[in-house]
Amino acid sequence: MEINKKFFPAVMKENEAVYFASLRGLIESVDELSSLEITRTPKAYNFRLIPSLPKYTNLIIEELIKFHNLIGVRLDMSKSIKTTSTISFQITLN
């Protein structure tokens, strides 16, 4: 899986590193050839996930929702997932 990170600090907090490692494991368990782009802004993390094949889209979305509900993090999902086969979501920072 390819991950591109933009605007990240040189040293991340430990809980953020654990979150990103868990997210990577979750996505790779469904589609190990996908591509993920993470952009850090002052107010949020923006994610753009491109599955290797469109058939993985629904399963990845299902697993993302389960994972984030389990850890109590709210996702803001994009509405154009089905047409582009790109999963875009955001996590707002407090």
3-state DSSP helix/strand/coil % of the chain, to nearest 5:
40, 30, 30
What does the pLDDT read at residue 82?
73
Taking only the tens place, the pLDDT of each residue in 32-56 is 999 999 999 999 999 999 999 999 9
Cα 50–Cα 51–Cα 56 angle in degrees, nearest 5: 145
With residue 5 as reference, give the H or E element that holds it: strand 2-6
Domains in the chain, ordered, with CATH? Answer: 2-92 (3.30.980)
What does the pLDDT read at residue 40?
97
Closest CA to 24 of 56, 57, 49: 49
